[in-house]
Structure 1
Amino acid sequence: MKTLRLLPLLVLSLATVQAQELEKISQPGAINGTVNITFNTRTRLTDDGKPQKGAKDVYETALTVGKTTEFKGKVERQPLITSKILGSVEQPGQYFYSLDLGVINPTNMTQRKTVGKWVGTVPIGADGTYELTGADDSKHRISIDAIGKAPAFTDNFGGRLYGKGKKTGGAMSYVRRLQGKEVKIEVKNVDPMRFENVVLAAGPAQSYPKCTVNGNLDFDYETGNWLTNGIRFHYSLNGKEYDDVVTGSIKWVEDPNRASNGKGQYEFNLRWNEDKNKPASTEADAFKAANDEEAFFTVDNSVPSLTGTVAYVDTMAKVGGEDSVTASKITYQLDANQLTKQQVMNFLKVWLIGIGPTNDE
């Protein structure tokens, strides 16, 4: 009889846990740290101007998420090289991931512990397709060690990323609502980076579940901006399904003296589930002055968002008679506004998957 009386309480307790909403944070520097890039494929060239065999671009990464999780190591990009005459593959295009995953003691930020790795080889097709499942002999994965009572686990990435290289025909429209006003801009010279059933591996902690991603992040060649009408994330945690739609812009702003100092920065203005989080507006809001382009890039902290900057100091050199970036020192300072740690983590994983296309000129 005691068991029967306890059963409803157990069911109620379980339902309460499952119904709990994920904690939201508003945190400056929710993503912070550095990425230093050496573009060896732009300096180690053959006589006909192609990258030498064995030359790889190196992305030295040291990024922190939520001030408690660290990604540290490197990603290398090896370009596809084909023979002049027959077009046969002399060197496959590949990415090599080797990132240590660490946790930071929130009560003593000097204490860090490596708990696993993000590793694997990602083949890149001639059409710019990234096979995120990885190579047969080197799956693209996150592997976590057993720590205390938490068991060890390995989880694989999957799906495809279509990198830059295929411009769209005609103009693309991007729409947002701001203070009761619908704002639209049109962009003609767009190159989409497309996520097709991309699977983000779970981890480093079990509170960061496997996640499926679809949608586009589009590059505007005329301005250097990135724009999206929707990157969609789907994941499950504690028995509950979550769907996030990320919209907005990442605006490129060059320093007036960039030609001499190499400085420029991306200004992030990405919003989560904007349609579900529209603030109340009045009739007067629709008449507030702002042209469409100014309004489109306006930061609106009344909705969950990721804002802040990713600042570049680039090293320039003449390569093949043209100015080229041969190295970049990048500093991340991205702020979370009413986002969950899962939302921030999912975005960083997507950004690191696209680390090549998002840093190409």
Structure 2
Amino acid sequence: MTRRLFRFVVRATFALAAMSPAAVSAQNRATVEVPADKARVTGQMTIDYASRSERSASGIDTYEIQELKVADLFIMRGTVQRQPGARMTYSLRYDVFNPANPSQIARDVAILRGDLPIDAKGRYLPADGNLRIDVVKGQQSSSKFGGVLQGRRVLKWWDVAERLKTARAEADKIYARVIEGKTVTITVKNPDPLGFENVALAAGPFSFLVPTKVTGNLDYDYELGNWLTDGGGLNFAYTIGDRPYSDKVTGSIRYVEEEGSFTDPAGKKRDYTGYYDYNLRWNEQAVQNDQSFFSSSQSQDADAFFSSSDQSKPGLYGRVYYKDTEDYCKKQKTDKGEDECVGPTRSEVVYDLKAVGLTYQQLAYWMKVEPLALGPLTDE
């Protein structure tokens, strides 16, 4: 690339980033629906669980994100290191697409960096670690994360069996959603909530991607390994220009434990040992208390509840594939006195998600939630 062309790309890429708030409101790209042919989240991540491996003395888990492409907005790449039960340390770089010409990309425009400390109660505290997005090119700025993310009660893989015993003896929770005009329910034994307590998601890497507050729970089902929302959902609040917006995200991320193969977005055939099936809806029809319930069995209700066959409504759909290996794993005794790996020592992860009917702001804030909750979301 010539120097003259490079300067053009940088100027065009940061045209929106350098706008005043009023100009950004007039442009209003944040509220534009992502075109269907662009609305994909694809890329790879490799997780090295050194804390579970006999080969490593560091005890530091490393998440290496390789070219995680979010529509025609940005590409994330870099590393997150985790000291289990203590902190997450972020160094993720953003490459951004030129809004005027998405075939042009500016590299290393912004950085998600800082620490995410974990206190004795399992709470993640981004403000205490100065976790932030720094825009380091063009119109430079810094925007911080804040609030409290209450992590899962079980922090160690090998404690899950004990948690399952407790769950069977404790309270049930009923989840409901409307499927084809009918209310479908499932029951989960004492789910573990991943709680968002006024979590502040940083603005950026473009200035039209505004800060967002998140409240609510994403519940974990230990028995089946699923993530799901209750009727309250996850609530996102933000302001663009002078107009306030609020969204409710409901639905599920269902875990399927099976071996198979798939063709990744780049056309390469890969093996997997399991995957997460995304069925998250934005502002879907709320469940009414007086609606009738299916009279079918629990397994049929579960199939209907988690079904992602209808992908016409605004939401995030698709799969995140995992290929787990347990080489040189640390082991714990099971109830039967047998040695068992405490969990995978390495996971190869491939994203293949699509957004339907979501705006740039909506897709961007979800892709800030996932790195923030990276530890709990990948610990199953």
TM range (shorter): 0.7 to 0.9
State the partner residue of 2:265: none
Change (3 A) 1:257 1:319: farther
Relative distance call for 1:312 and 1:22 in structure 2 (3 A) is same
* 1:191 equivalenced with 2:192 (yes/no): yes
Contact 1:175 1:182 in 2 (8 A): yes
CA RMSD in angstroms, aligned pairs only: 3.1
Higher strand fraction (1 or 2): 1
Deviation of 1:334 (Å): 0.7
Q: Partners in 2 of 1:342 and 1:99 — Cα distance?
A: 19
Answer yes or no: is the 8 Å Cα contact 1:56–1:77 preserved in 2: yes
Aligned residue for 2:340? 322
In the aligned structure 1, how far is the partner of 2:106 from the partner of 2:30? 29
The aligned runs of 1:45-60 (5 Å cut-off) are 52=57, 54-60=58-64
5 Å matches for 1:22-41? Answer: 22-25=31-34, 26-27=36-37, 30-41=40-51
In structure 1, the partner of 2:240 is 237
Q: Write the deviation string for residues 106-135 of structure 1: whole angstroms up to 9, x where unpaired.
A: 746474422111100111112211011133
SS in 1 for 2:31: coil
Residue from 87, 95, 107 that aligns with 1:102: 95
Residue pair 1:27, 1:336 contacting (<8 A) in 2 also: no
Cα drift, residue 257 of structure 1: 6.8
Equivalents in 2 of 1:268, 1:337: separation in Å?
12
Q: How many residues are aligned here? A: 316
CA distance in 2, matches of 1:17, 1:308: 33
TM-score, normalisation: structure 1: 0.79
The equivalent residue for 2:149 is 161
Describe the shift of the 1:43–1:18 C-alpha distance in structure 2 as closer, same or farther (beyond 3 A): closer
By how many angstroms is 1:355 displaced?
0.4
Q: CA deviation at 1:316?
A: 1.7
TM-score, normalization by structure 2:
0.76
Aligned pairs for 1:60-71 within 5 A: 60-62=64-66, 63-71=68-76
1:18·1:238 contact (CA, 8 Å) conserved in 2?
no
Residues 306-345 of structure 1: CA deviation (Å, up to 9, x unaligned): 0000000111234223122000010001101101111111
Residue 174 of structure 1: how far off its partner (Å) = 1.1
Distance 1:57 1:160 in 2: 22
Question: Are the structure 2 counterparts of residues 239 and 354 from structure 1 closer, same or farther at C-alpha, using a change threshold of 3 Å?
Answer: same
Q: Which has the larger radius of gyration?
A: 1
Q: Could you tell me which residue of structure 1 aligns to residue 121 of structure 2?
A: 127
1:293 aligns with 2:286: no
Partners of 2:44 and 2:348 within 8 A in 1: yes
Q: Does 2:315 align with 1:310?
A: no
Q: Would the alpha carbon gap of residues 154 and 21 (structure 1) be closer, same or farther in structure 2, given more than 3 Å must change?
A: closer
Q: Is the contact made by 1:200 and 1:213 (CA closer than 8 Å) also made in structure 2?
A: yes
Contact 2:212 2:237 in 1 (8 A): yes
Structure 1 unaligned segments of length 5 or more: list them. Answer: 1-12, 46-50, 81-92, 279-285
Corresponding residue number in structure 1 for 2:108: 114
Question: Which amino acid counterpart does residue 251 of structure 1 have in structure 2?
Answer: R
Query: Residue 120 of structure 1 contacts residue 134 of structure 1 at CA under 8 Å; is this kept in 2?
Result: no
Aligned partners of 1:255 and 1:227: how far apart in 2?
20
After superposition, the Cα gap between the structure-2 partners of 1:266 and 1:21, relative to the gap in structure 1 and judged at 3 Å, is closer
Q: What SS does structure 1 have at the residue aligned with 2:285?
A: helix
Deviations 1:136-172 (A, max 9, x none): xxx111110241xxx2110110001111116774111
Taking a change above 3 Å as real, the CA distance of residues 346 and 157 of structure 1, as seen in their structure-2 partners, is same
Deviation at 1:66, TM superposition (A): 1.3
Answer yes or no: is the 8 Å Cα contact 1:19–1:240 preserved in 2: no
CA shift for structure 1 position 266:
0.3
For each residue in 1:270-301, what CA deviation from the matched residue of structure 2 results, as whole angstroms up to 9, or x when unmatched?
000002799xxxxxxx9999932121112222
Q: Which residue of 2 aligns with 1:274?
A: 284
Q: In structure 1, what is the Cα distance between the partners aligned to 2:368 and 2:146? A: 12
CA 1:19/1:155 → structure 2, altered by over 3 Å: closer, same or farther?
Answer: closer
Q: 1:288 to 1:22 in 2, by over 3 A?
A: farther
- Matched residue of 1:126: which SS? coil
Q: Distance in 2 between matches of 1:223 and 1:276?
A: 25
Shift of 1:17: 4.3
Equivalent position SS for 2:344: strand
Aligned residue number for residue 8 of structure 1: none
The 1-side partners of 2:284 and 2:277 are apart by: 19
Tell me, yes or no, if structure 1 residue 77 matches structure 2 residue 82: yes
- Equivalent residues of 1:71, 1:102 under 8 A apart: yes
State how far apart, in whole Å, the 1-side matches of 2:316 and 2:325 are: 28
Letter in 1 for 2:65: T
Q: Is the 8 A contact 1:30 1:344 kept in 2?
A: no
Structure 1 position 348, deviation (Å): 1.1
Q: Is the 8 A contact 2:30 2:208 kept in 1?
A: no
Which amino acid in 1 is paired with 2:252?
Answer: S
